[in-house]
Amino acid sequence: MSSSPPEALDVLQRVFGFPAFRGQQAAIVGHLKGGGDALVLMPTGGGKSLCFQLPALLRPGCGIVVSPLIALMQDQVDALLQLGVQAAFLNSSLDAATATATERRLLAGDLDLLYVAPERLLTERFLGLLDHLAERQGIALFAIDEAHCVSQWGHDFRPEYIQLSLLHQRYPQVPRIALTATADELTRDEIRRRLGLEEAQVFVASFDRPNIRYTVVDRHNPRQQLLDFLAGHRNDAGIVYCLSRKKVDETAAWLQTQGVTALPYHAGLDADTRRTHQQRFVREDGVVMVATIAFGMGIDKPDVRFVVHLDLPKSLEAYYQETGRAGRDGDPADAWMTYGMNDVVIHSQRIDESAAPDEQKRIERRKLDAMLGYCEAAGCRRALLLRYFGEEHMSCGNCDTCITPPERWDGTEAARKFMSACLRTGQRFGAGHLIDILRGKHTDKVAQFGHDNLPTFGVGHEVDEAGWRNVARQLLAAGLLHADANHYGALKLTDAARPVLKGETTLMLRRQPVRTRSPRKRGAAPSPLLPQASGLYETLRQWRAATAREQGVPAYVILHDRTLHELASLKPNTQEQLLTVAGIGAAKVERYGQALLAALGQASSNDEDAAASDNRSDVNDLASEYFAMSGAQEE
């Protein structure tokens, strides 16, 4: 495995403003610099972009980055321009004159990096440009971002990605790097095969995001549950995912009535509305985006403090990808989900009704089973999630099942009662009706089918409805029951249920614990600031916000929160000292150095004046107290 060349560290420090590489970044950069192909699996916020941006600067020619989303291109190009890197993008948002000017810059050798959508890259016009570039200036590398889009089994399949194998066929000497934050073993194999990366070096970083707290709750009053959760995230930026467009619109409208700055986002909205809402989310503080899965991939906002799922995602890959949009800055964040059995029925129905081949349906059902197993886990959720991606992990202490471990109880008899009710009704009904039978409820439906005459009628009256739903969900998760989507979610026994029904084996179930919010594990968050530094941090934030507004870019493109924290703590007073702050390179010192030093100096001066005033006040108070005491003694 290659290590990074010495000049790589110089570029890292001088251009990007970082003192050292993280994790496997150095090895990846060295491998690409040497002309090798790579497949990189690295979690969101782990520094994937640097793995292709830096070697593109080290190699001759322009680096071509294939990216699926316009918003991602814009943000990354804006950030690179701030660093003094010559970067541009080509996509449908550009007018003809701007696109032509960008193409001329490419051929003239004026660009270090060019971002392009896969659809445009595959056109004969653009491939012709690449031919000219290869002959004249050279192509530094090809970076294929969000590479999981190539997988037909995946959650973000993009058919254009399958054709990207032509890059290797057409330009075999140009190194390629495919990157993704989410891929199980099946998806990894498909990426390698479809992109012709069978011989590529594979780099797999830890998938763990220790700053994210994972919580799953049973759905019983979702709006109130959501409101209770949001009470702990006032004025925080976050994302709320819903399964349907209608639910997105209704939830966003309702949150607005509750005083939350919430915006809807889904494919049914017109392009201008989606663009406006996305820009507000990225550039304003405290905006909550209520969205379908159409929103999120490529969003580079680092200070998203929570991701909520009001409906069950269809796979653990989708769940991991979506929750990974929280806490990219390393500060504490929440991944909170509420789900019910109806979610399983809806997803099962979508799988069964799709036109996909039977093999793909089997894979999708297996992924759904894994997702359901995660929701009903009695052990550490993080350990289960990471194990799904092939990584072993001890209990984390920062998920709901670690913080409040659920009790285990012998649920064999309860399971047998539930499955007996299922069998005696012909396996034709959903959980709600079966629970009514078990609890002895005289509903119209029970009377219509004569189910009040069954031996199982009323045998579970001592368990409330929530308790029986908890049992039913765990039987589904354990694979003992199957929700038949073709028959309105009717529950049917599987072969695995036979030994439990016959009493040949014991079934331990988990009891739903009472959830309480506990002190948050800080993870990699910055150290708390002193009161003076906190005031300085706010001054720097205001300067950053004003600068971002002037330039029309997101605030984090100017400087990240973590950089502001370090500035407030270290209080550098020279440009040389500014260069020692993580995230500040030579270009940013040249561009913002004087303004930053002025802001720091002014804030420090105000702090000193305030401190001097406080000291004078303390002295006066002490003198008054002394004279008062003296007077009292004389009397």
Question: Domain boundaries in the chain?
Answer: 6-204, 212-339+386-398, 407-511, 531-626
| 113 three-state secondary structure | strand
Domain range 531-626, its CATH number among 3.40.50.2300, 1.10.760.10, 1.10.150.80, 3.40.50.300: 1.10.150.80
Percent of the chain as helix, strand, coil, to the nearest 5: 50, 15, 35
What is the residue whose two structure tokens read 């303004």? 595
Residue 622, pLDDT above cutoff 60: no
Summarised one tens digit per residue, pLDDT across range 498-556 is: 898 888 888 888 876 544 444 454 444 445 555 556 788 888 988 998 999 899 888 88
| 2 three-state secondary structure | coil
Query: Which tokens in the block code for residue 345?
Result: 């029925």
| 393 three-state secondary structure | coil
pLDDT band at residue 222, thresholds of 50, 70 and 90? very high
Pairing state between β 481-484 and 490-493: antiparallel
Lowest mean pLDDT among 297-306, 480-489, 536-545: 480-489
Lowest mean pLDDT among 153-157, 166-170, 508-512: 153-157
Other C-beta atoms lying within 10 Å of the C-beta of residue 452:
15
CB burial of 63-90 (b: ≥16 within 10 Å; e: otherwise) equals: bbbbbbbbbbbbbbbbbbbbbbbebbbb
CATH domain 407-511 topology:
Arc Repressor Mutant, subunit A (1.10.10)
Q: Which of 187, 188, 238, 234 is nearest to 212 (CA)?
A: 238
Residue 494, pLDDT above cutoff 70: yes
The CA distance from 430 to 347, in Å, is 15
Summarised one tens digit per residue, pLDDT across range 466-483 is: 888 888 888 887 778 877
What is the residue whose two structure tokens read 């009891």? 511
Q: Do 6-204 and 212-339+386-398 agree at the fold level?
A: yes
| 242 three-state secondary structure | coil
Q: For residue 466, what are the contacts with CB-CB under 8 A and spacing of at least 6? A: 218, 220, 512
Residue 141 or residue 634, greater confidence: 141
Query: Which tokens in the block code for residue 372?
Result: 């359901």
- The per-residue pLDDT for 521 is 45
Residue 625, pLDDT above cutoff 70: no
CATH architecture of 212-339+386-398: 3-Layer(aba) Sandwich (3.40)
Q: For residue 221, what are the contacts with CB-CB under 8 A and spacing of at least 6? A: none
Summarised one tens digit per residue, pLDDT across range 556-587 is: 889 988 899 899 888 998 999 999 998 999 99
pLDDT band at residue 103, thresholds of 50, 70 and 90? very high
Sign (positive or negative) of CA dihedral 491, 492, 498, 502: positive
What dihedral angle (degrees, nearest 10) is formed by the CA atoms of 72, 74, 79, 84? 140
Per the CB < 8 A criterion, the answer to whether 416 and 479 are in contact is no
pLDDT band at residue 273, thresholds of 50, 70 and 90? very high
- The per-residue pLDDT for 513 is 55
The CA distance from 521 to 622, in Å, is 42
- The per-residue pLDDT for 614 is 47
- The per-residue pLDDT for 101 is 95
List Cα–Cα distances, 568 to 86, 526, 597, in angstroms. 30, 12, 11
Per the CB < 8 A criterion, the answer to whether 238 and 304 are in contact is yes
Residue 194, pLDDT above cutoff 50: yes
The CA distance from 367 to 183, in Å, is 12
Distance between terminal CA atoms of the chain? 87
Other C-beta atoms lying within 10 Å of the C-beta of residue 453:
9
The CA distance from 525 to 316, in Å, is 26
Maximum average pLDDT range among 53-57, 118-122, 605-609? 53-57
**Over pLDDT 70: what percentage of the chain?**
89
Mean pLDDT of 355-368: 83
Q: For residue 182, what are the contacts with CB-CB under 8 A and spacing of at least 6? A: 148, 317, 318, 320, 321, 324
Q: Which of 486, 417, 435 is nearest to 445 (CA)?
A: 435
What is the residue whose two structure tokens read 């541009």? 88
Q: How many residues does the chain have?
A: 635
- The per-residue pLDDT for 55 is 96
**What is the pTM (predicted TM-score) of this model?**
0.74
What dihedral angle (degrees, nearest 10) is formed by the CA atoms of 608, 614, 619, 624? 160
Sign (positive or negative) of CA dihedral 179, 184, 187, 193: positive
Mean pLDDT of 325-334: 91
List Cα–Cα distances, 399 to 73, 128, 171, 375, 459, in angstroms. 34, 52, 47, 12, 36
Mean pLDDT of 456-465: 91
Q: For residue 441, what are the contacts with CB-CB under 8 A and spacing of at least 6? A: none
Mean pLDDT (the chain) is 85
Sign (positive or negative) of CA dihedral 297, 299, 303, 307: negative
Per the CB < 8 A criterion, the answer to whether 27 and 177 are in contact is no
Q: Where are the alpha helices (DSSP H) in 325-399?
A: 341-353, 358-375, 381-388
Q: How far is CA 115 from the centre of its chain?
A: 22
Q: Find residue 180's DSSP bridge partners.
A: 41
CATH architecture of 6-204: 3-Layer(aba) Sandwich (3.40)
- The per-residue pLDDT for 172 is 93
Mean pLDDT of 259-264: 96
